[in-house]
Chain A
Amino acid sequence: MKTPVQFRLNGDDVAAFAESGANLLDVLRESVGDLSVKGGCWQGTCGTCTVLIDGLPRLSCITLAESCAGKSVETVAGLRRGADLHPLQSAFMEHFAAQCGYCTPGMLMAAKALLDRNPNPSREEVVDAICGNICRCTGYEPIIAAVLDAARGDNRRRA
């Protein structure tokens, strides 16, 4: 049994047929074709699949696709504006905040959710914002530095 589901993805209307019980991660990757979202645990524990739903960070692997009908979904594929990188993306590049890159899409979306609601976060607030996202390569410090840097606007000029 498949259900039609329609939502906005990075500002554009998309529609897909979702298996009953299908999660947003699978629908984004398999039906819509947004491969920028990665799956890491498929059980809501690692944060790799983090997307923004109506501006809030959500784990797409444990979000029912049908529950997203009519909502706005943001993924890292929609982060850059044409040739220009988002300040967070520039800051991640500058600070070596990615190594294998697999957690990076989810990490960026968690960080974006933070900066969208709090443009000047403290270090503690950055840590709190990404504490649900597991990174096995970097040891987190470069990521924290990148988010703080992006918030300070140091990269906005370069972006």
Chain B
Amino acid sequence: MLELRKDIFADERDDNLKEVGQPTQRQDMLGHVTGTSAYYDDHRFGNLLHLKVLRSPHAHARIRSIDDSVAARAPGVKRIIRAADVPVNLNTLLSLIQFGKDDEPSLATDVVRYKGEPVLAIVATSERAALEALAQVRVAYEPLPAVFDVEEALKPGAVSVNAAYPKNTFEYYNKYDHQKLRFGDADAAFAQADIVLDERYQMSPIEHAPTETNGSIAVPDTNGRFVVYTSTQALFFSLDTSAKINAVPSNQLHFIGGTVGGGFGGKVDTLTEPLSILAARLLGAPVRYRLSRHEEMQFGSPRGGERIYVKDGVMRDGRIIARKVRAYFDSGAYTRLSSYAAVKCAAHIPGPYTIPNVYADVFCVFTNRTPATAMRGFGVTALDFALECQMDKGAVAVGMDPLEYRMLNAYRDGDMKAHRREAKNCALLECAQVAAEKANWPLRDEFRRMSSRTGGGAQRVGDSADRTRAPAPAPAPAPSARPAPAAPQRVAYERPAAATPAHNVPPPPPRPPSPPPAAQPAGSTHGAPRFSSVFGTRRR
């Protein structure tokens, strides 16, 4: 099933791989199939106490008062933990690397900002006793207007969600309200483009739904320390976060984990450890805080929703000469890791394609939704969904095969990326060629012969003045007598009545003669300072 194509770039490595390509048994597999792998909840302690949390039923509300006097007397209740009991009740996950402001309380103080936000915790002798006591707590809420849409949240006069970021955008370096990418002159290139594609994409939040829900057990050790058994995906990250919130030195905490019942990014947020540790400290007893499936779905953070606008300027021969992206990352009510996702999103634009004019704005936006977090390539996944849909639409618009359209625009060694890094060790063309071969997808000869090692960089850049460039090598466009239109043709999808239907786009006219090769040395045609990359120095 596995096939290693060692013939590709064979001259670039020693063929001495010992593990790659060889089947290797997972070291934890025997435990998994015999039911002996120990997950956090497979550790047993005498006198274990159980912590459950009261959650906001409102997406946005002011807390007027909390009456827990009846709950405090309920059977089995050992302790009620209120916001004031949390030593450091404001945190942001990436504060550990000095990235962003503390914006999220462990237990809400005056305002709840999303449905499911923790308000108060009860520790009792059983989960059932804790839940029955929670039902006795009376909270007087004053519902506030809420905002659930990223673009609505950025409008003037929108509801302010997060007290640390009143304008509903994460602030980069305490200064910038979004991530910005500028390369070349996109607007000028759109004016020269034969076709302009302006499209909108939306990806919904996605719940990781691991079969094991988030949870942890904090146990007082014999030496004043606390041992914490946890489902976390990020043992030391969770340890440091818990130490900060509990205001204890991190060497007082001993985290044990690593066997995780599914995570996919949904177990990095340190959702349970700070409170289970706090309860164990307050009560001197082992405390478990385990999310129910309902809590996992509502309170456990999902992959954030994203709205992405992509505008491409395309020439009839298939070259993309400009790409403009406006992306909104829905962080939910608090930052968690979405600030980083937006950085990754900006870093991935314009995808693995060489486009001489790129313009992008990426926003990390706060709304009254469940805070989002990491999930498998977050920040990049939704963008790739948008970009690859856009590539398919672009191929249709110019009448090209979608794979050849991608190959024509693919990065090659020596190309300058929008981030002013030179593309190195590119292999998209080779991957596409092998994929086409495996799928019996017909490619024209010149596309079968393309190589990532040739045709990039200065060989590709034709006219640095207008920042359009000649394809290398050129495909053979169908001849046509039709002259190119004076103004860019706009192609719209899902609105066939208002614009040219995609399948009626005229075939590409002959390619104009290639401009003379640029006189500048390779790498300087993009007009931006060169930066050296620490990666991929092998090939160039």
* A75 engages B35 (CB within 8 Å): yes
Interface-centre pick from B28, B41, B261, B263 (highest chain A CB count, 10 A): B261
Task: Name the interface residues of A31-70: CB closer than 8 Å to any CB of B.
Answer: 33, 35-43, 45-46, 48
Interface-centre pick from B34, B260, B293 (highest chain A CB count, 10 A): B34
- Partner among B34, B260, B262, B293 whose Cβ is within 8 Å of the Cβ of A79: B34
Q: Is B533 an interface residue (CB 8 A)?
A: no
Chain A: which residue is nearest B128 at the CB level? A19
Question: In the bound complex, how far is the Cα of B482 from the Cα of A136, in angstroms?
Answer: 54
Task: Name the interface residues of B10-25: CB closer than 8 Å to any CB of A.
Answer: 25
* B34 engages A48 (CB within 8 Å): no
When distances are taken between beta carbons in the complex, the residues of chain A under 8 Å from B292 are 42
Listed by A's residue number, 11 A-B pairs whose Cβ atoms lie within 8 Å are: A38-B211, A39-B41, A77-B36, A100-B32, A100-B210, A100-B260, A101-B33, A105-B35, A134-B209, A134-B211, A136-B210
* A100 engages B211 (CB within 8 Å): yes
Given contacts A96-B26, A136-B262, A136-B264, contact A102 B33 (CB under 8 A): no
Question: In the bound complex, how far is the Cα of B26 from the Cα of A105, in angstroms?
Answer: 17
* Contact mask for chain B residues 23-60; partner A; CB cutoff 8 A; 1 contact, 0 none: 00110111111111111011010000000000000000
* B210 engages A102 (CB within 8 Å): yes
- Partner among A37, A76, A89, A100 whose Cβ is within 8 Å of the Cβ of B262: A100
Given contacts A35-B42, A76-B35, A105-B35, contact A93 B29 (CB under 8 A): yes
Q: Is A5 an interface residue (CB 8 A)?
A: no
Question: In the bound complex, how far is the Cα of B42 from the Cα of A35, in angstroms?
Answer: 6
Taking A40-B293, A79-B35, A102-B211 as known contacts, 6 extra A-B pairs with beta carbons closer than 8 A to each other, sorted by chain A number, are A40-B261, A46-B293, A76-B34, A101-B259, A103-B211, A135-B211
Q: Is B208 an interface residue (CB 8 A)?
A: yes
Question: Nearest chain A CB to B29's CB is how many angstroms away?
Answer: 5
* A101 engages B210 (CB within 8 Å): no
* A93 engages B211 (CB within 8 Å): no
* B31 engages A101 (CB within 8 Å): yes
Task: Name the interface residues of B209-264: CB closer than 8 Å to any CB of A.
Answer: 209-213, 259-264
Question: In the bound complex, how far is the Cα of B41 from the Cα of A42, in angstroms?
Answer: 14
Which DSSP category, helix, strand, loop or mixed, fits chain B's interface?
loop
Given contacts A96-B26, A100-B262, A137-B262, contact A38 B212 (CB under 8 A): yes
* B37 engages A101 (CB within 8 Å): yes
Question: In the bound complex, how far is the Cα of B28 from the Cα of A101, in angstroms?
Answer: 9
* B293 engages A100 (CB within 8 Å): no
* B39 engages A89 (CB within 8 Å): no
Which DSSP category, helix, strand, loop or mixed, fits chain A's interface?
loop
Q: Is A80 an interface residue (CB 8 A)?
A: yes
When distances are taken between beta carbons in the complex, the residues of chain B under 8 Å from A93 are 25, 29-30, 33
Q: Is A18 an interface residue (CB 8 A)?
A: no
Query: Could you tell me which B residues sit within 8 Å of A by CB distance?
Result: 25-26, 28-39, 41-42, 44, 208-213, 259-264, 292-293
**Interface residue range, chain A:** 35 or more
When distances are taken between beta carbons in the complex, the residues of chain B under 8 Å from A100 are 32, 210-212, 260-263
Task: Name the interface residues of A87-144: CB closer than 8 Å to any CB of B.
Answer: 89, 92-93, 96, 98, 100-105, 108, 134-137
* B293 engages A36 (CB within 8 Å): no
When distances are taken between beta carbons in the complex, the residues of chain A under 8 Å from B26 are 96
Question: In the bound complex, how far is the Cα of B41 from the Cα of A40, in angstroms?
Answer: 11
* B32 engages A104 (CB within 8 Å): yes
- Partner among B30, B261, B263 whose Cβ is within 8 Å of the Cβ of A38: B261
* A136 engages B208 (CB within 8 Å): yes
Question: Nearest chain B CB to A140's CB is how many angstroms away?
Answer: 13
Chain A: which residue is nearest B37 at the CB level? A101
Question: Nearest chain B CB to A152's CB is how many angstroms away?
Answer: 18
Question: Nearest chain A CB to B373's CB is how many angstroms away?
Answer: 16
When distances are taken between beta carbons in the complex, the residues of chain B under 8 Å from A16 are none
When distances are taken between beta carbons in the complex, the residues of chain A under 8 Å from B31 are 101
When distances are taken between beta carbons in the complex, the residues of chain B under 8 Å from A101 are 28-29, 31-33, 37, 259, 261
* A98 engages B33 (CB within 8 Å): yes
Given contacts A35-B42, A38-B261, A136-B208, contact A98 B35 (CB under 8 A): no
8 closest cross-chain pairs (CB), A and B? A36-B35, A101-B32, A102-B261, A76-B35, A41-B293, A89-B33, A98-B32, A40-B211
Question: In the bound complex, how far is the Cα of B33 from the Cα of A36, in angstroms?
Answer: 10
Chain A: which residue is nearest B35 at the CB level? A36
Question: In the bound complex, how far is the Cα of B41 from the Cα of A153, in angstroms?
Answer: 35
* Contact mask for chain A residues 3-47; partner B; CB cutoff 8 A; 1 contact, 0 none: 000000000000000000000000000000101111111110110
- Partner among B29, B38, B213, B259 whose Cβ is within 8 Å of the Cβ of A98: B29
When distances are taken between beta carbons in the complex, the residues of chain B under 8 Å from A136 are 208-211, 262, 264
Given contacts A45-B293, A98-B29, A136-B262, contact A36 B210 (CB under 8 A): no
When distances are taken between beta carbons in the complex, the residues of chain A under 8 Å from B44 are 33, 35
Given contacts A40-B293, A93-B29, A100-B211, contact A85 B261 (CB under 8 A): no
* A77 engages B35 (CB within 8 Å): yes
Question: In the bound complex, how far is the Cα of B209 from the Cα of A93, in angstroms?
Answer: 24
- Partner among A42, A85, A135 whose Cβ is within 8 Å of the Cβ of B293: A42
Question: Nearest chain B CB to A74's CB is how many angstroms away?
Answer: 12
Question: In the bound complex, how far is the Cα of B264 from the Cα of A93, in angstroms?
Answer: 22
Question: In the bound complex, how far is the Cα of B35 from the Cα of A37, in angstroms?
Answer: 7
Question: In the bound complex, how far is the Cα of B35 from the Cα of A80, in angstroms?
Answer: 10
Question: In the bound complex, how far is the Cα of B211 from the Cα of A102, in angstroms?
Answer: 7
